[in-house]
Structure 1
């Protein structure tokens, strides 16, 4: 950079931060291009499974939104996709996993996710269907898994597992209810694990384990080294005015904020200061104030879950598997929705595939309004619906929000708006 007499030290430091960030972003983007194919689930096909007779869904590598009325199977779809992605953790713990072991592991995972009556696999078979139930996931580098079962099956039968062992990107599932305040009881060494599993399905149990995972690296150091975190984690902390920390077997809330501070490596040489980034971003806590997670708002705790998963590396854009989030808007103030959508978009820009199920009009509209195709954003809408007089669930997919015609959410808000106008007009 050519120095000019009128350039301030602040402007020079800001310039260099921009240049360093630009280089890091280029390197990061190249890494995402090279690795993205490993991380994504491309397609899901469900036949005669729960309420789905024959459903095919093509996922966007960026953001996917599953919408539909109650009972159309949004959560079932998310859990089915998550369950098929779970093979990554099976092979990670045992690379030489055989077919019989894989069948047993996937069967146990689906029984734990769906908790059917009598704990029987056949209870997840579409009622009245004569053919077998089939679940198929296709991943972006050609990996594939297909499993089938019948009404009387005791285990899933793997019919195709093409390169499935090579898919190692572990998914993350965030269920509807927040888990942060429940972890202390679920992780307590004196608890009865069988009792916990009677109450909570594996969506909750898996997340509790993920939240208690520790990180060997200091978060503030990672934030200053990784552009993906520096653009997201401070936003989450700003949203709720602090962060949740794992202490003494439970989560507590520490109020505070991220601030730029002079770097401890900063030299006193004025000439050198002009050519270095002399600040670092650090979390500054409000001294003497901590709260039990149960004393904080549930909407804040849901933001805290996302913060924690990014903090301990379970969720790592560009290297982790899909993020499945069921009703992120649940118990969250609509005022937070814009910032949450901005965070989700930022995650997707950094290589994180996001698949959410929602009933929320505000969330949908902010995704529509804030999505920037110039920044590479892509939001795909998948609308689940039933035809009149038919019990089977169908799907409509579009890459434009205005193209969603089977949306009970927008229809309900349009009806509300019309009623309000009619009242205003007397």
Structure 2
């Protein structure tokens, strides 16, 4: 079940020109540093999470307007200077930021604002919001949260300091939700099998007192004794068991640089997990610099003849960042990740010939 169908942005941070991006069940964003990969990921997440919160609150005793929820989510997801929304508008242009998210046939969320905007969005149009009711948006940031769990909670719930953005705080809230029993879809079962291979059969768990441990057989380790990669990838287990990541009702998973702190073998397994999520009906978005992850996803797309999209972002002199969309089922196009791999291979050949 593909929730989001398209995104159109203009004058948004590095994207001075209009970027039109059609979405698939799994979407990969690549590009060199400072090309706006994480900005696009966070933008989609902020909209998805705001719509989720709006759907939950509208039937409650204190419903909130979508414009208020979206403005707050954008501010706390991006943490611009002084939490001013206007800082998200492209510098050096006199135009307003414009964003349009589309889903299904005619569902859309469109909004815009100028450089002087502080905390309110006035210009907003929405249609077809009921079609997204029940959808859940989850974001996995590059840094694992389990060893800094208490710090995230304290800075946001006690003193409300902008030390951790909402991608971290929301993930803490999602992780806190209790697990539930029930039958798992076959693709989700395959994700668990990949998880077991990465963790050696162990699992990250939350104890009754709220502490988080890594348990493998009879051995129990606290988070400071647990490998970074296991902490990062192990969080998926609880998110599946508490039904945060489930095809039922619709889910979207956003992963920023999943390869961070992972061994190449674990990166390949993570790619296979993301593939299984997409095959189950969970819409997946990710950014990456990893050839291993990108190559494995391309192989899976070709093997299953699946429409996975690749958005290649590149800086254009004097015109910000532009993007090109291709399909992984058609093979990997030339891009900086592949080109650097080939350059190193050529150096190997030259060294062998000179020996």
8 Å CA contact 1:325, 1:356 repeated in 2: yes
1:80 is paired with a residue whose SS is helix
2:162 is paired with a residue whose SS is helix
8 Å CA contact 1:183, 1:250 repeated in 2: no
Distance in 1 separating the partners of 2:161 and 2:4: 28
Q: Which residue of 2 aligns with 1:419?
A: 347
Would you say 1:236 and 2:195 are equivalent positions?
yes
**Residue correspondence of structure 1 range 161-310 to structure 2 within 5 A:** 161-168=126-133, 169-187=135-153, 193=157, 195=159, 197-215=161-179, 217-218=180-181, 222-223=183-184, 226-241=185-200, 242-247=202-207, 248-255=209-216, 286-287=217-218, 289-310=219-240
Distance in 1 separating the partners of 2:92 and 2:40: 20
CA RMSD of aligned residues (A): 2.2
Distance in 2 separating the partners of 1:196 and 1:329: 30
1:136 is paired with a residue whose SS is strand
Q: Which residue of 2 aligns with 1:106?
A: 70
Deviations 1:271-294 (A, max 9, x none): xxxxxxxxxxxxxxx23x111122
Out of 397, 409, 413, the residue aligned to residue 325 of structure 2 is 397
> How far is the alpha carbon of 1:98 from its aligned partner?
11
Q: Which residue of 2 aligns with 1:27?
A: none
**Residue correspondence of structure 1 range 43-192 to structure 2 within 5 A:** 43-53=6-16, 54-60=18-24, 62-86=25-49, 87-95=51-59, 101-154=65-118, 155-168=120-133, 169-187=135-153
8 Å CA contact 1:170, 1:320 repeated in 2: yes
Distance in 1 separating the partners of 2:95 and 2:250: 35
8 Å CA contact 1:298, 1:331 repeated in 2: yes
TM-score normalised by L of structure 2: 0.91
Tell me, which stretches of 5 or more residues in structure 1 are unaligned?
1-35, 256-285
TM-score normalised by L of structure 1: 0.76
8 Å CA contact 1:125, 1:150 repeated in 2: yes
> How far is the alpha carbon of 1:234 from its aligned partner?
2.9
8 Å CA contact 1:143, 1:167 repeated in 2: no
Out of 403, 409, 416, the residue aligned to residue 337 of structure 2 is 409
8 Å CA contact 2:152, 2:168 repeated in 1: no
Distance in 1 separating the partners of 2:282 and 2:332: 25
8 Å CA contact 2:12, 2:90 repeated in 1: yes
Tell me, which stretches of 5 or more residues in structure 2 are unaligned?
none
**Pair 1:344–1:100, CA change in 2 (3 A):** closer
Distance in 1 separating the partners of 2:59 and 2:101: 20
Q: Which residue of 2 aligns with 1:30?
A: none
1:398 is paired with a residue whose SS is strand
Distance in 2 separating the partners of 1:118 and 1:184: 25
> How far is the alpha carbon of 1:92 from its aligned partner?
1.3
8 Å CA contact 2:271, 2:293 repeated in 1: yes
Q: Which residue of 2 aligns with 1:326?
A: 256
Q: Which residue of 2 aligns with 1:266?
A: none
- Number of residue-to-residue matches in the alignment: 347
**Pair 1:232–1:423, CA change in 2 (3 A):** same
Deviations 1:160-190 (A, max 9, x none): 20122442212111111111222233346xx
Deviations 1:340-396 (A, max 9, x none): 2222111111111111000111111111223355x4533211100012x22411000
